[in-house]
């Protein structure tokens, strides 16, 4: 299969192909950071392609293929650098919560440790229960269910952002000698804190940077703008799953800030409509994305071409 199509600029390289075939063509230790959502095994099917990991027949078969990819990411990652994996607990019975859940994040952690990564951090990303109920129509989230039988209720399960570090010395520190200068989140920055934005003195006094860091250092991210995502509806095909929801740009920006410097290379092996590449580029990084599905790849091209200027405006701070 290899690469069917490619789009390469000074800021990004987009490939339409199977990531398990494209990544082996990249040189060792050439990636500073990777950010992605793997297929949520057993929950969604994204295409009918036999190359699509979401079409694996069993959970065990999925991890057999996924571990190959994890090993490739380990090979590509520079020593001391990070990979972020966005995931969630997976219902045992597909889209229904009846029957309990599989610890998908836990199995991802064990697979990365087996490949040689260190498990570094886990962050939970909050989801509003009513919004999840309306989107998924989960009976376990309906108020009626707690009236009928509360033992059959569930929760609006969090997304998880797992962070892994490749062992070895990081030769290029990710540093902010003047502190953090931009907040990616929905909280209103207090006026007295905003006054410290751009402060160049002793960073112990920089209340603006401290405000951002307290939010980013939390293990529970409840300030992510859930709907701040790239356009994706035009990429859907008639036989698509209803689930096509790109990773939020706030999450991607935080990953870039926490684990890479401007000008460095960020990889995503499951590019979708280009969110991780886009988030890397608008934050001054260079992005590499691989996407199996042609309609998503084409939408990623449109997003990278058309959305940059618009989103840069959206990132401006409110007074």
pLDDT of residue 137: 84
pLDDT at site 99 = 67
pLDDT, average across residues 191-195: 96
Rg (CA), the chain: 20
What's the pLDDT tens digit per position in 252-304?
999 999 999 999 999 999 999 999 999 999 999 999 999 999 999 999 999 99
| 113 close to 85: Cβ distance less than 8 angstroms | no
CA 161 to chain CA centroid, Å, is 7
Domain boundaries, the chain: 3-184+218-314
**308: which 2 tokens?**
């940059």
pLDDT: which is higher, 34 or 233: 34
Mean pLDDT (the chain, rounded): 88
CA triple 227-230-231, angle to 5 deg: 100
Pairwise CA distance, residues 195 & 63, whole Å: 49
Exposed / middle / buried, residue 312 (Cβ in 10 Å: 0-12, 13-18, 19+): exposed
The CATH label, of 3.30.479.30, 3.40.50.150, 3.30.420.40, 3.40.462.10, for the domain at 3-184+218-314 is 3.40.50.150
Whether the per-residue pLDDT at 178 is higher than 80: the answer is: yes
Cβ atoms of residues 278 and 2 within 8 Å? no
Q: Whole-prediction pTM value?
A: 0.89
State how far the Cα of 275 lies from the Cα of 19, in Å rounded to an integer: 16
If you search the block for the tokens 């988030």, which residue do you land on?
279
Residues 96-110 have pLDDT tens digits of 556 688 899 999 999
Average pLDDT over residues 19-36: 97
Beta-ladder partners of 82: 33, 165
pLDDT in the model for residue 177: 95
DSSP state for residue 172 in the 8-state scheme? S
Residue-level pLDDT at 103: 94
């Amino acid at each position: 299969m290899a690469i069917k199509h490619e789009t390469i600029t000074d800021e990004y390289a987009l490939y339409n192909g199977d990531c398990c075939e494209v990544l082996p063509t990249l040189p060792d230790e050439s990636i500073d950071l990777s950010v992605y959502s793997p297929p949520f095994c057993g929950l969604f099917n994204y295409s009918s392609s036999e190359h699509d990991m979401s079409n694996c027949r069993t959970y065990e078969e999925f991890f057999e293929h996924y571990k190959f990819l994890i090993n490739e990411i380990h090979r590509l990652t520079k020593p001391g650098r990070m990979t972020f994996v966005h995931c969630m607990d997976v219902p045992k019975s597909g889209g229904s919560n009846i029957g309990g859940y599989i610890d998908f994040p836990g199995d991802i952690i064990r697979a990365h440790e087996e490949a040689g990564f260190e498990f570094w951090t886990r962050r939970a990303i909050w989801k509003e229960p009513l919004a999840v109920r309306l989107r998924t129509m989960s009976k376990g989230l309906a108020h009626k269910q707690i009236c009928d039988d509360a033992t059959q209720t569930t929760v609006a399960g969090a997304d998880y952002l797992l962070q892994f570090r490749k062992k070895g010395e990081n030769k290029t520190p990710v540093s902010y000698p003047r502190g953090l200068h931009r907040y990616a989140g929905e909280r209103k920055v207090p006026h007295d804190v905003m006054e410290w934005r751009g402060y160049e003195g002793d960073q112990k006094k920089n209340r603006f940077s401290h405000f951002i860091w307290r939010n980013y250092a939390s293990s529970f991210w409840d300030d992510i703008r859930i709907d701040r995502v790239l356009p994706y509806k035009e990429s859907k095909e008639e036989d698509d799953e209803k689930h096509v929801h790109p990773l939020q740009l706030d999450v991607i920006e935080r990953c870039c800030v926490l684990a890479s410097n401007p000008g460095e290379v960020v990889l995503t092996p499951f590019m979708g409509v280009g969110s991780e590449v886009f988030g890397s580029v608008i934050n001054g990084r260079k992005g590499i994305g691989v996407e199996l599905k042609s309609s998503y790849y084409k939408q990623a091209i449109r997003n990278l071409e058309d959305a940059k200027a618009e989103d840069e405006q959206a990132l401006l701070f409110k007074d």
